Amino acid sequence: MLKKIKPKNARSKRALQKREPKTEENVKKAIFIRGSSTSQIVNEALSDLCKLKKPDAINFTKKNNTIHPFDNDTSLNFFCEKNDTSLFVVGSHSKKRPNNLTFIRMFDGQILDMVEVGIENAKSLSEFKTSKCAIGIKPLFLFVGDLFENSQVHKTFKNMLLDFYRGQSVKNINLSGLEHVISVTAIDSSSEQSSDTRAMPGIIYFRVYTTQFKKSGEKTPRIELEEMGPSYNFRIRRFKFANDDVYKLATKVPKVNKPKKIKNIDVNEMGDKIGRIHLGKQDLSKLQTRKMKGLKRIAEDYTEEDLESEELVPLTKKQKA
């Protein structure tokens, strides 16, 4: 009845646990994969985009005849499950759609959305003889163009690029670790005639620069840029948006268990911890004051109730007297 894979040792158990759904998710991993036929440009683009995504990226260097994301998604689902990845870039090259890249996002093992772009004017990472950024560093993003606000495809593509390259989500960022910026600029040049009839009008310029902090005489440094590569002009071709229900499920925000409010403990300006204790009302009738002969209770002071409860005390006193 329980057909789930049962881990046979602690190591595989841990590995399976890492793959389970969590409230705070792992970094999304990406697979860069080739379709049935690819060109030199596509191959270089795939490996360069992979290098940008490292260390959360896997580059598949063999060709795959069965991958056609817009027609059939079974093999992608398989790769997704096998490698625990949810991002894909599929490269292909055909007469119909030359130099083609498909950016794919998955949710729960199924394709969520895809955007297909054609590459023009590609320059690979190695063509720029400049210093590169370190591996695994969060990039800055700059999206230029009102298309990223107005057009649904561009919005999706923006969200996708953010998702691909944002890396680990962190609370604090090291200011010296802001090494590169991914700049994506979209223009809607509908007047210009494109040779690519299958593409939407407009170009998306994808550029990556390394940043240099220069003195500015103020606390904030002046930024100078140097192109690091890769550099592409993308033209959007086919796309597929997420199903509304699935998208709603995918963007559900977990209820964050808020930390309990700590009562009665403060820290003052000096950093001292100050606690407050609530004692309740003090019973002053039982307070032991200074003993004096004049304040002593004599036998007449005792009521009958006292006599019942404190029989011993007055009796012994009487006997003595």
Residue 247 sits in the site that holds another protein (CB under 8 A): yes
Residue 215 sits in the site that holds another protein (CB under 8 A): yes
In sequence order, the β-bridge partners of residue 231 are: 123
Decide if 196 contacts 235 (C-beta within 8 A): yes
**Residue from the set 18, 22, 54, 297 that interacts with another protein by CB under 8 A:** 22
The window from 10-18, 184-192, 258-266, 292-300 that contacts another protein (CB under 8 A) reads 184-192
In whole angstroms, how close is the CB of 250 to another protein at the nearest point? Answer: 4
Task: Look up residue 284 and give its amino acid.
Answer: L
Decide if 198 contacts 237 (C-beta within 8 A): yes
Residue of 72, 71, 113, 118 lying closest to 92 (CA atoms): 118
Residue 241 sits in the site that holds another protein (CB under 8 A): no
Q: CA–CA separation, 124 vs 104, rounded Å?
A: 22
Pairing type for strands 30-34 and 57-63 reads parallel
CA dihedral 42, 44, 48, 53 (to 10 degrees): 50
Residue 205 sits in the site that holds another protein (CB under 8 A): yes
The window from 45-53, 185-193, 259-267, 275-283 that contacts another protein (CB under 8 A) reads 185-193
Type and span of the H or E element at 160: helix 152-165
Residue 54 sits in the site that holds another protein (CB under 8 A): no
**Residue from the set 9, 65, 220, 319 that interacts with another protein by CB under 8 A:** 220
Q: Which of residues 74-133 bind another protein (CB under 8 A)?
A: 86, 105-108, 112
Q: CA–CA separation, 206 vs 77, rounded Å?
A: 28
**Residue from the set 28, 97, 132, 240 that interacts with another protein by CB under 8 A:** 28
Residue 259 sits in the site that holds another protein (CB under 8 A): no
Considering the complex, state which of residue 149 and residue 311 has its C-beta at the smaller distance from another protein: 149
In whole angstroms, how close is the CB of 73 to another protein at the nearest point? Answer: 17
In whole angstroms, how close is the CB of 70 to another protein at the nearest point? Answer: 20
Residue 228 sits in the site that holds another protein (CB under 8 A): no
Q: Which of residues 298-317 bind another protein (CB under 8 A)?
A: none
Considering the complex, state which of residue 121 and residue 316 has its C-beta at the smaller distance from another protein: 121
DSSP-assigned letter for residue 147: H
Give 30's contacts (C-beta < 8 A, 6+ positions apart).
50, 53, 56, 57, 58, 85, 87, 88, 89, 164
The window from 169-177, 262-270, 295-303, 307-315 that contacts another protein (CB under 8 A) reads 169-177
Residue 195 sits in the site that holds another protein (CB under 8 A): no
Decide if 157 contacts 103 (C-beta within 8 A): yes
Residue of 321, 319, 317, 320 lying closest to 297 (CA atoms): 317
- Strand, helix or coil for residue 52: helix
Considering the complex, state which of residue 2 and residue 287 has its C-beta at the smaller distance from another protein: 2
Tokens of residue 182, six digits: 């991914």
Q: Which of residues 264-293 bind another protein (CB under 8 A)?
A: none
Residue 264's CB is within 10 A of a number of other CB atoms, namely 9
- Where do we find the tokens 């027609």? 71
Interface residues with another protein (CB under 8 A)? 1-2, 20-23, 25-26, 28, 86, 105-108, 112, 138-146, 148-149, 159, 162-163, 166, 169-178, 181, 183, 185, 187, 189, 205, 207, 209, 211, 214-225, 227, 231, 242, 247, 249-252, 254
